[in-house]
Amino acid sequence: MSLSRTTREDSPKSWAIENSENLYRIEGWGQPYFSINAAGHVTVSPKGERGGSLDLFELVNALKLRNLGLPLLIRFSDILEDRIERLNACFAKAIARYNYPGAYKGVYPVKCNQQRHLLEDLVRFGKPHQFGLEAGSKPEMMIALALLDTPGALLICNGYKDREYIETAMLASRLGQTPLIVLEQIEEVQLCIEASRQLGIKPILGIRAKLSTQGVGRWGSSTGDRAKFGLTIPEIIQAVQELRDADLLGCLQLLHFHIGSQISAINVIKDAIQEASKIYVELAHLGADMKYLDVGGGLGVDYDGSQTNFYASKNYNMQNYANDIVAELKEACAEHNLPVPTLISESGRAIASHQSVLIFDVLGTSDVPSGAPEPPQEGESAIIRYLWETYQSINEENFQELYHDAAQFKEEAISRFNLGILRLTERARAERLYWACCEKILAITRKQEYVPDELEDLEKIMASIYYINLSVFQSAPDCWAIDQLFPIMPIHRLDEEPTRRAILADLTCDSDGKIDRFIDLRDVKSVLELHNLKPGEPYYLGMFLNGAYQEIMGNLHNLFGDTNAVHIQLTPKAYKIEHVVKGDTMTEVLGYVQYDSEDLIEQIRRLCEQALLDKRITIQESQRLLQNYEQSLSRYTYLSS
Ligand SMILES: *Cc1c(COP(=O)(O)O)cnc(C)c1O
């Protein structure tokens, strides 16, 4: 690769790797897994501080040689392992620090990423810590039951349950599993009582409480009396009564709560634990044989690296989180002379986000015209002269006022065009001059400390559009659905100044299929700094921290299917490709909507035959058409570069 050579020629201003680090905030969100090397490429250290790293750009090139085209999802199983180690280490440290006379036994919520290879890795990596699984539905419980083979690890059974779900979970204890059945609906109490009687099994039961502690942000409504899941306090009392009447109160051993995902503020977590620990103590006083407290999910990921309580960040770290849980429980139990519970957490996002990176290429760009415009010609409309004069007069004092003038003249040019007074070529000249004014004003505002509100959109208006070989709906649905922010940056040319400011437009023909919100230290940026494309050279972008929730929520909008995915594991000398999961072909995607590719080919063949008979097509043309059609069906749904 001759990138570093061309760099020197292209960017006269000096641009160091540190400039890219600051610009893309990679240290903030990427540590300890992602950084930039001297070649200006993103590197991955899948084992965190424990050593070994890979050049991501070179890895992508090597994978492309193995026919793994972009877009490509790369999973680093070592990162997954590191996340599990880290979470368990934080709880171990907190337990030691506070002399907590109990244990931590985490579980992974399957809904966060259900891919088989990932779950198999996770169960394996979790063995030393008796790390278990949490199922949020019947199908997830079926997976968890089959996959979890760690003695002593917990199988938390959440979600809506029918009799079959409950019986299966109870019988799982006969297979050596430790299923904990969490009562989420008051009706489930009787179902459990009946199943227990019939099977003669004393299950471990839990209660999911609706806390009054209100989460904040996107999932704030996951708690409170009107939350979708869990029992209200009166219902908890009713459940205790029903279990006591059935002589099963001893089975009630767990209290569970979940206050929503991506909790940005530590005080919300503290409040919830405080409330839950009080309920826990009371349940023990009511006669339940309390042994477990499950704090649910919510442990946040710092997507923008700002360490704040902004929704894309969090103002605490994993150790603070563990400390608060351990300390609060120890105190609450000591106060009432109760043995402390085994602590359970159900962190999904914090475990699965970092392990995958989505790599995609840029297909092309489009810009508003830039550069110096032509002065007005003899005989051109007065409006063009006004715009020219405005353009010429713009300076640091008057830019705000002249921005309004330019906008007004452009509006006027359009109304004159609509009245038939202005010709199309003149309208083009007027619009060109307007863009030139905007460009000049934007250059001034970028140097200002304070940008007037009305000029804030200028950056967006003047942004380049980078067309990306990706479907946001398939690969980053939360960007579209809930305005989630993921760090996005080029994975190479980072020793070169990115001189363009761009928004990203995806392959779908949906105007929502774009990304125009990017992480920033303060709030959100509306444009992303990117490099000029070089003819004949690919330009790769990476989307990071997207290993949680995106894959399964992705949809087939415009029939773009699953991307290629590959599992990479670090070896002492290099890396090995553990699994390759080929993305959908067109035949597969069309099958989801009930088209049979053989039928489709047959239909095209028939049309070709008729066209040949009618002499509307030559035999060569029809051959070419059929060949393209058949080939496309067996190929990737994305564009090949
Ligand atoms: C979704 C969910 C989780 C996972 O939450 P994260 O914020 O991703 O850790 C845990 N528990 C329950 C009950 C959930 O519904």
**Tokens encoding 541:** 């972008």
Q: Which of 134, 184, 321 to mutate to test the pocket of ligand 1 (most atoms within 8 A of CB)?
A: 134
What CA–CA distance (Å, rounded) separates 442 from 439?
A: 5
Verify whether ligand 1 is closer than 6 Å to residue 309 (CB atom). Answer: no
Query: 216 pLDDT band (50/70/90 cuts)?
Result: low
Q: Which residues contact 263 (CB under 8 A, 6 or more apart)?
A: 215, 216, 217, 269, 298, 299, 300, 314
Q: Is position 295 annotated in a ligand binding site?
A: yes
Rounded mean pLDDT, 258-278: 94
**Tokens encoding 615:** 């002499």
Rounded mean pLDDT, 170-175: 97
Verify whether ligand 1 is closer than 6 Å to residue 20 (CB atom). Answer: no
* Mean pLDDT estimate for the chain: 94
Q: Is position 69 annotated in a ligand binding site?
A: no
Q: Tens digits of per-residue pLDDT, 484-507?
A: 999 999 999 999 999 999 999 999
Q: Is position 159 annotated in a ligand binding site?
A: no
The answer to whether the CB of 373 falls within 8 A of the CB of 391 is: yes
What CA–CA distance (Å, rounded) separates 551 from 112?
A: 9
CA of 111 to the centre of ligand 1 (A): 8
Verify whether ligand 1 is closer than 6 Å to residue 111 (CB atom). Answer: yes
pLDDT at 7: 40
SS3 9: helix
The 3-state secondary structure of 403-439, one letter per residue: HHHHHHHHHHHHHHHHCCCCCHHHHHHHHHHHHHHHH
Rounded mean pLDDT, 108-123: 97
Query: 640 pLDDT band (50/70/90 cuts)?
Result: confident
Length in residues, the chain: 641
pTM: 0.93
Longest Cα separation, the chain: 99
Rounded mean pLDDT, 385-394: 97
The answer to whether the CB of 623 falls within 8 A of the CB of 605 is: no
Rounded mean pLDDT, 613-620: 97
Torsion 552-556-561-563 (CA) sign: negative
The answer to whether the CB of 397 falls within 8 A of the CB of 358 is: no
Q: Which residues contact 261 (CB under 8 A, 6 or more apart)?
A: 218, 219, 222, 297, 298, 348, 349
What CA–CA distance (Å, rounded) separates 471 from 95?
A: 44
pLDDT at 330: 97
Q: Is the pLDDT of residue 395 over 70?
A: yes
Q: Where are the beta strands (DSSP E) in 71-177?
A: 72-76, 107-109, 132-135, 154-157
Please give the number of the atom of ligand 1 that sits closest to the Cα of 350.
9
Phi, psi of 201 (to 5 degrees): -115, 135
CA of 634 to the centre of ligand 1 (A): 38
The answer to whether the CB of 543 falls within 8 A of the CB of 486 is: yes
Q: Which residues contact 191 (CB under 8 A, 6 or more apart)?
A: 161, 162, 163, 166
Verify whether ligand 1 is closer than 6 Å to residue 90 (CB atom). Answer: no
CA of 81 to the centre of ligand 1 (A): 19
Query: 1 pLDDT band (50/70/90 cuts)?
Result: very low
**Tokens encoding 120:** 């198999």
| Alpha-carbon radius of gyration of the chain | 30
Q: Give the CB-side neighbour count of residue 30, counting CA atoms within 13 A.
A: 24
In 3D space, the residue among 391, 398, 397, 393 whose CA is nearest the CA of residue 376 turns out to be 391
Q: Tens digits of per-residue pLDDT, 399-453?
A: 999 999 999 999 999 999 999 999 999 999 999 999 999 999 999 998 988 888 8
**Residue nearest atom 3 of ligand 1, based on CA coordinates:** 297
Q: Is the pLDDT of residue 225 over 50?
A: yes
Verify whether ligand 1 is closer than 6 Å to residue 296 (CB atom). Answer: yes
Q: Which of 111, 154, 208 to mutate to test the pocket of ligand 1 (most atoms within 8 A of CB)?
A: 111
**Residue nearest atom 10 of ligand 1, based on CA coordinates:** 297
pLDDT at 9: 44
Helix, strand and coil in the chain, % to nearest 5 = 45, 15, 40
Least confident of 65-69, 113-117, 225-229, 455-459: 225-229
The answer to whether the CB of 255 falls within 8 A of the CB of 217 is: no
Q: Is the pLDDT of residue 221 over 70?
A: no
Quick one: angle between helices 116-126 and 138-147, nearest 10? 50
The answer to whether the CB of 104 falls within 8 A of the CB of 126 is: no
SS3 465: strand
Residues of the chain with pLDDT > 90, as a percent, come to 90
Taking residue 464's Cβ as centre, other Cβ atoms within 10 Å add up to: 19
Verify whether ligand 1 is closer than 6 Å to residue 561 (CB atom). Answer: no
Query: 6 pLDDT band (50/70/90 cuts)?
Result: very low
CA 455 to chain centre: 31
Least confident of 3-17, 230-244, 570-584, 601-615: 3-17
In 3D space, the residue among 315, 345, 340 whose CA is nearest the CA of residue 328 turns out to be 340
Q: Which of 112, 257, 351, 484 to mutate to test the pocket of ligand 1 (most atoms within 8 A of CB)?
A: 112
SS3 534: coil
CA 42 to chain centre: 19
In 3D space, the residue among 254, 257, 258 whose CA is nearest the CA of residue 205 turns out to be 254
**Tokens encoding 281:** 């103590």
SS3 19: helix
Verify whether ligand 1 is closer than 6 Å to residue 314 (CB atom). Answer: no
Q: Which of 122, 154, 156, 346 to mutate to test the pocket of ligand 1 (most atoms within 8 A of CB)?
A: 346
Query: 217 pLDDT band (50/70/90 cuts)?
Result: low
Torsion 389-395-398-404 (CA) sign: positive
CA 437 to chain centre: 38
Phi, psi of 240 (to 5 degrees): -60, -45
Q: Is the pLDDT of residue 322 over 70?
A: yes
The answer to whether the CB of 260 falls within 8 A of the CB of 269 is: no
Verify whether ligand 1 is closer than 6 Å to residue 297 (CB atom). Answer: yes
CA of 312 to the centre of ligand 1 (A): 17
Taking residue 457's Cβ as centre, other Cβ atoms within 10 Å add up to: 10
Q: Is position 300 annotated in a ligand binding site?
A: yes
Phi, psi of 250 (to 5 degrees): -65, -20
What CA–CA distance (Å, rounded) separates 182 from 191?
A: 12
What CA–CA distance (Å, rounded) separates 92 from 129?
A: 10
Rounded mean pLDDT, 387-407: 96
Rounded mean pLDDT, 196-214: 94
Q: Is the pLDDT of residue 599 over 50?
A: yes
Q: Is position 303 annotated in a ligand binding site?
A: yes
Rounded mean pLDDT, 457-463: 90
The answer to whether the CB of 496 falls within 8 A of the CB of 458 is: no
In 3D space, the residue among 623, 597, 628, 599 whose CA is nearest the CA of residue 612 turns out to be 623
Torsion 116-118-122-125 (CA) sign: positive
The answer to whether the CB of 102 falls within 8 A of the CB of 340 is: yes
Q: Is the pLDDT of residue 220 over 70?
A: no
Question: Checking phi first, is residue 627 left (phi over 0); if not, alpha (psi -120 to 50) or beta?
Answer: alpha
Q: Tens digits of per-residue pLDDT, 41-88?
A: 999 999 998 889 999 999 999 999 999 999 999 999 999 999 999 999
Read off the amino acid at residue 242: E
Verify whether ligand 1 is closer than 6 Å to residue 349 (CB atom). Answer: yes
Taking residue 370's Cβ as centre, other Cβ atoms within 10 Å add up to: 13
pLDDT at 226: 63
Least confident of 212-216, 221-225, 480-484: 221-225
pLDDT at 222: 65
Torsion 555-559-560-566 (CA) sign: positive
